[in-house]
Amino acid sequence: MPIALIAHGGAGNWRPGSEQDAVEGLKAAVEKGRGVLRAGGSALDAVCATVVILEDNPIFNAGTGAVLNFDGFCELDASVMVSRGACIGAVAALQRVRNPILVARKVMEETDHVMLAGEGAQRFARVMGFPDHDPITPARRADWQDKRKRVDEVLGKHSLKMRRFLKDHPEYAGGTVGAVAVDKDGILAAATSTGGVTMKLVGRVGDSPIAGAGNYASNHIAASATGTGEFVMRALAARAISEAVQHGAPVARAVAEVLDGLRRDYEADVGIIAVDSAGTPVAQHLTRDMPHAYFSGEHEVASRMRA
Ligand code: ASP
């Protein structure tokens, strides 16, 4: 069976000067996942290894370097899914851990549940041996201070609707990470991790930990979405791609049709990566940027800022 893996670093507008780092960071992460697959490892191990590297890279909005919520702390969402057995593990609004994707995997492997949230997810992480880790970097803290000041000036002290502000300041968007892969046994897996949308209300959960929305793996495809999760959840975007492929659409067309719908219905700022069981990697986005890297079969890793 052909092996393949593709990873993204978030749909949005990357800050000038950070593009090269984003593309190189993705390339290094995908090299790691490729090494796992080429050594005969599972798609699950490959996507987790890839996402861990991206979570540890502070330029991405996941794990260390995640964006802060309105009150100035991180709430991390992540999920994994494996096609065989439709196994899912997810965490939402997790505050202090280095690699949320590994906690999500533990939820899948060590509990009867699909998702743990907030305080319960935090306690579970500690029981599973994940030490306390503050994901906030000085750069993200400075961003947050700047944004809070501007939001107060632009919207007034009590506005809770941030979308307009963020649309006017798109340089602040992006950075979620995701990886999808197919292994030598034809098993597909998806992993997505994020700090969510910047300045989100405390307790807000996005699409990334919701199976079928921001993350999904079936026998047909594995997909990971990025961009404003409220739109991705309405469209159940990743699941819709799987259904289209199941009914005979090539994966690239299935992704394009889902994105067309998101543009038409919501003018959504969304991007999607997917891979099918034949090892075809796809990246498409409605935003200006979505750094991504991929390989399939015997090919070397390729990486770029825009599809
Ligand atoms: N989809 C993520 C969320 O809504 C954010 C992003 O990908 O930029 O939480």
Is residue 176 annotated as a catalytic residue, yes or no? yes
Closest CA to 230 of 250, 205, 264, 203: 205
* Distance (Å) from CA 227 to ligand 1 centroid: 5
Distance from chain centroid for Cα 299: 24
Q: Which of 50, 176, 194, 226 does the annotation list as catalytic?
A: 176
Mutation choice for ligand 1 from 59, 74, 167, 226, CB with most ligand atoms inside 8 A: 226
The CATH number assigned to the domain holding 160 equals 3.60.20.30
Low-confidence spans in the chain with pLDDT less than 70:
155-161, 166, 169-174
Please give the distance, rounded to the nearest whole angstrom, from the Cα atom of residue 6 to the centre of ligand 1. 18
Tokens found for residue 213: 């929305």
pLDDT for the residue numbered 198: 87
The alpha carbon of 266 is separated from its chain's Cα centroid by a whole number of angstroms, namely 20
- Mutation test residue for ligand 1: of 59, 208, 289, the one with most atoms within 8 Å of CB: 208
Q: According to the model, what pLDDT value does residue 159 have? A: 64
Index of the ligand 1 atom closest to the CA of residue 229:
4
Tens digit of pLDDT for each residue in 275-284? 999 999 999 9
Q: Sort 307 into a burial class: Cβ within 10 Å, 0-12 / 13-18 / 19+.
A: middle
Ligand 1 binding pocket (C-beta < 6 A) is 10, 77, 174, 176, 194, 196-197, 206-208, 214, 226-229
Q: Encode 263-283 in three state secondary structure.
A: HHHHCCCEEEEEEECCCCEEE
pTM of the predicted model as reported, rounded to 2 decimal places? 0.96
Task: Using the mean position of ligand 1's atoms as its centre, give its distance from the Cα of residue 164 in Å.
Answer: 16
The rounded distance, in Å, linking the Cα atoms of 96 and 84 is 31
The set of residues, in sequence order, having a beta carbon less than 8 Å from that of 245 and lying 6+ positions away, is: 220, 221, 251, 254, 276
Total domains, the chain: 1
Supply the pLDDT for residue 157: 59
pLDDT of 195 = 97
Distance CA 84, CA 64 (A): 31
Q: CB of 200 within 8 A of CB of 173? A: no
The Å distance, Cα 298 to ligand 1 centre, comes to 32
CA distances from 74 to 12, 53, 210, 249 (A): 20, 19, 18, 39
Residue 228 CA, closest ligand 1 atom number: 4
Relative orientation angle of helices 251-266 and 237-246, to the nearest 10 degrees: 140
pLDDT at 148: 85
**CA neighbor of 188 nearest in space, from 222, 140, 146:** 222
Enclosing domain of residue 228: 4-304
